[in-house]
Amino acid sequence: MSSNFSEMKHTASVTQTRAGQFVLQATGFRAFLPAPLPPDPPIRRDQEIDALLSAADTNLGRLDGVASILPDPNLFVAMYVRYEAVLSSQIENTQSTLEEVLQFESEPDADHPKDVEEVVNYVSAINYGLQRLGEFPLSLRLIREIHAETNEGGPRQYSRSGRVSPHSKLDRSDWMHHQ
């Protein structure tokens, strides 16, 4: 797939790849328009691709089996969101466990390490993003809005350098205008 992007064809307003094209919009943004299916040339199938597809199919079957015996699948999703937040925060060298996050959520007034609060902010941002996806299409603006939620509960004002100013919050309507 990386070869798709190395083989881009550029014109003034269109960038073409095998996967589709980026078209410059009147507002100055580029929109991605996927190529029609099936792809041309067709996808090459070999033993490696077949093995990967088989493993993915097996894992989806396992997930479906587990989901069918859960009394409330939303509980599974909620736990997965927390687990993902713990793993994602480790990229930034945040040290927290799933158990610490659950304890924080059950006892928010107790004394907890700062790292746990950061992971709980990630959980809040993920949940916020999932809610907003039902109201708003996936876009760079939405990603920025979700990212702002990780910064302790709300959007921050961006400086001229593009860095977040942690000391000044804007309300959502003002923040959207800065995008």
Kindly report the pTM of this predicted structure: 0.51
Positive or negative, the CA dihedral 18, 136, 167, 110 is negative
d(CA 121, CA 84): 12
Residue 61 identity:
G
Question: What are the pLDDT digits (tens) for 115-125?
Answer: 898 899 889 88
Residue with tokens 């015996």: 69
Tokens of 154: 């709300």
CA separation for the pair 46, 147 (Å, rounded): 39
- 75 or 99: whose pLDDT is higher? 99
Over residues 163-175, the pLDDT tens digits come to 343 433 333 333 3
pLDDT exceeds 80 at position 35: yes
The C-alpha atoms of residue 96 and residue 164 are separated, in whole angstroms, by: 25
% the chain with pLDDT above 70 = 78
* pLDDT 10s digits, 52-66: 999 999 999 998 898
Q: Mean pLDDT in the chain?
A: 78
Answer whether 102's CB lies under 8 Å from 83's CB: no
Q: State the helix-helix crossing angle for 114-133 and 140-150, rounded to 10 degrees.
A: 150
pLDDT at 21 over 80: yes
Decide if pLDDT at 82 tops 90.
Answer: yes
pLDDT at 165: 38
